[in-house]
Chain A
């Protein structure tokens, strides 16, 4: 916690100069990067190879950082370096490049994009002045975009308040290799640099989720363990929508043949399917239903019969009733649910005309305009 405490004080100082001098903030970010590096080195002491490699990287980063800052003249040079970073990323990470192009440079992709080049660049032995030069455009690029700053703010509460998770991530990434550790350093540096200006609150185990493009709600804090999974799922959903594999609208039925078969079935008073057990009432109800079907088809709720036949059981399930039939009832369930609203009043009128035919207390509501319903039914 001592190193994290030191990291806390430096951002508060950078908040004063952040509004006036962006480059000075970049310099302080490099210093924060050094602090984060030392902290992770202390935690990863059990790994011999990792501990041996990290001090070399720390010395190189700290030594060459000031030289790069002194040598950098203006924003145009940083843009050139950013384009070089893009080209290098294109060469090294083919899959990630494809994903970036597919996503259309969205917010999440923009975050993943700057973090990857240092990872791959530092895996082979890099030149000492080269690595900070690659890192500096990331900071300038982040400062240009406000959304990126808001995104980088997300990891700050985790690093500040959730050190066990930090150790867990550090341990996991040290096991994978040196490149993953570099990625973690980049995230730490960026988070420390932008922590104080926005005054992010520290919550135990919570990570600030970047706001989605479609939603206009405020920042959402999620479980830090699920952060990467949620980002991955967002990208997968966006990709599915782009390929038109997921449609927002729901079809009233899934199978055309079953829909046509259900439309051909005889319906009694109230629009429900005729029960095969009531043979005596079937003939009378069929005669009553014949003009209705010829008129245009009256659609009602599913029949609640408990018949064992396959054809009847498929459409047994009612939308709001508790009685359940076969597994395939959901297919026609959509049809009845979709067509229920326009057919509500004709069904009610037919029920009132039928009298004791349905016997449902649900449909026994008194209707003031009785004649109007009859006209709708006849049309």
Chain B
């Protein structure tokens, strides 16, 4: 599309994430949301470009999670790389758990129970997992 805003993150979600980090009575201007929207989009393109460059050097076509972690580390973003590595491990554990539950079930009732339990297991608290200060800021936040 010719619309440039399609390449940006949705501004409502950006505003909601910004609001989570502020006091309840704080107000955010539209210009502030637009600025953070552009900064977040540029940061994603920056890290993704580094990961894609590594895939191009190694003659690979698929950018996977390890490439993103390695890109963050090569760009000097060590805190982000550690948090992303922990999230990636937790995500893969959830995927393996869901796969094992689906393969072990045979009856319809067991499949329904496994589906609900698997859905619960895969649910990851993103903010708590990605927090770079795990020991200090360990309180769980509802994932919206």
C-alpha spacing A68/B32, complex, angstroms: 59
Q: Chain B interface mostly helix, strand, loop or mixed?
A: helix
Say yes or no for B120: interface residue by CB 8 A criterion.
no
Contact with A245, one of B7, B42, B53 (Cβ below 8 angstroms)? B7
Q: Which residues 32-51 of B sit at the A interface, judged by CB distance below 8 A?
A: 34, 42, 45-46, 49-50
In angstroms, Cα B28 to Cα A245, docked, is 28
Chain B residues whose C-beta falls within 8 Å of the C-beta of A251 in the assembled complex:
3, 5
Q: Is B29 an interface residue (CB 8 A)?
A: yes
Among residues of B, the one whose C-beta sits closest to the C-beta of A317 is B12
Q: Does B134 contact A (CB under 8 A)?
A: no
Closest Cβ of chain B to A52, distance in Å, is 24
Across the interface, do A327 and B10 meet the contact criterion of CB distance under 8 Å? yes
A317 and B49 in contact, given A223-B76, A254-B3 (Cβ under 8 angstroms): no
> Is B49 a contact partner of A334 (Cβ separation < 8 A)?
no
Q: A322-B19, A322-B25 are in contact. Are A246 and B45 (CB under 8 A)?
A: no
**CA A254 – CA B45 in complex, angstroms?**
22
Are A225 and B76 closer than 8 Å at their CB atoms? yes
B27:A246 contact, CB within 8 angstroms: no
Contact A319 B12 (CB under 8 A): no
A244 in contact with B2 (CB, 8 Å): yes
Contact of A229 among B7, B10, B28, B49 (CB under 8 A): B49
B27 pairs with A320, CB closer than 8 A: yes
* Pair A250/B49 contact, Cβ less than 8 Å: no
Which one of B4, B13, B16 lies within 8 Å of A247 (CB-CB)?
A: B4
> Distance in Å from the Cβ of B78 to the closest Cβ of chain A?
10
Docked-complex contact A250 and B27, CB < 8 angstroms: no
Which of B11, B15, B29 meets A324, CB within 8 Å?
B15
Interface size class of B (residues with CB under 8 A): 20 to 34
Q: Which of A310-365 contact B (CB under 8 A)?
A: 317, 319-322, 324, 326-331, 333-334, 337
Residues of B within 8 A of A93 (CB): none
Cα–Cα distance between A176 and B12 once the two chains are bound (Å): 45
Asked if B24 lies at the interface with its beta carbon under 8 angstroms from chain A, I say yes
CA distance A73 to B75 in the complex (A): 45
Given contact pairs A245-B4, A254-B3, A333-B12, A319 touches B29 in the complex (Cβ within 8 A): yes
Q: Is the CB of A337 within 8 A of B30?
A: yes
- Tell me, yes or no, whether B74 is within 8 Å of chain A by CB: yes
Give the number of residues in A that approach B within 8 Å (Cβ atoms).
32
Residues 242-261 of chain A, each 1 if its beta carbon lies under 8 Å from chain B, else 0? 00111110110010000000
Residues from chain A with a CB closer than 8 A to the CB of B7 are: 245-246
Pick from B12, B13, B27, B57: contact of A322, CB below 8 A: B27
Question: CB-CB < 8 A to A254: which residues of B?
Answer: 3, 5
Flag if B53 contacts A320 (CB, 8 Å).
Answer: no
A87 in the interface, Cβ–Cβ < 8 Å?
A: no
Q: Does B26 contact A (CB under 8 A)?
A: yes
Known: A246-B4, A328-B12. A232 touches B49 (CB 8 A): yes
Residues of B with C-beta under 8 A to A319: 29-30
Rounded to whole angstroms, the CA-CA distance of A321 and B29 in the bound complex is 9
- Asked if A233 is at the interface of the complex by the 8 Å CB criterion, the answer is yes
If A226-B75, A330-B11, A334-B11 touch, whether A232 touches B53 (CB-CB below 8 Å) is yes
Residues of B within 8 A of A376 (CB): none
Whether B16 contacts A229 by the Cβ 8 Å rule is: no
Q: Nearest Cβ distance between residue A220 and chain B, in whole angstroms? A: 16
Complex contact B13–A327 (CB within 8 A): yes
Give which listed residue, A236, A317, A334, contacts B45 with CB less than 8 A. A236
In chain A, positions 200-256 with a C-beta closer than 8 Å to chain B are 223, 225-226, 229-230, 232-233, 236, 244-248, 250-251, 254
Complex A-B: 26 CB contacts under 8 Å? A225-B74, A226-B46, A230-B46, A232-B49, A232-B50, A233-B45, A233-B46, A233-B49, A236-B49, A245-B2, A245-B4, A246-B4, A246-B7, A247-B5, A250-B5, A250-B34, A251-B5, A319-B29, A320-B27, A322-B25, A324-B12, A324-B19, A326-B12, A328-B12, A330-B15, A331-B12
Residues of B whose CB lies within 8 Å of any CB of A are 2-5, 7, 10-13, 15-16, 19, 24-30, 34, 42, 45-46, 49-50, 53, 57, 74-76
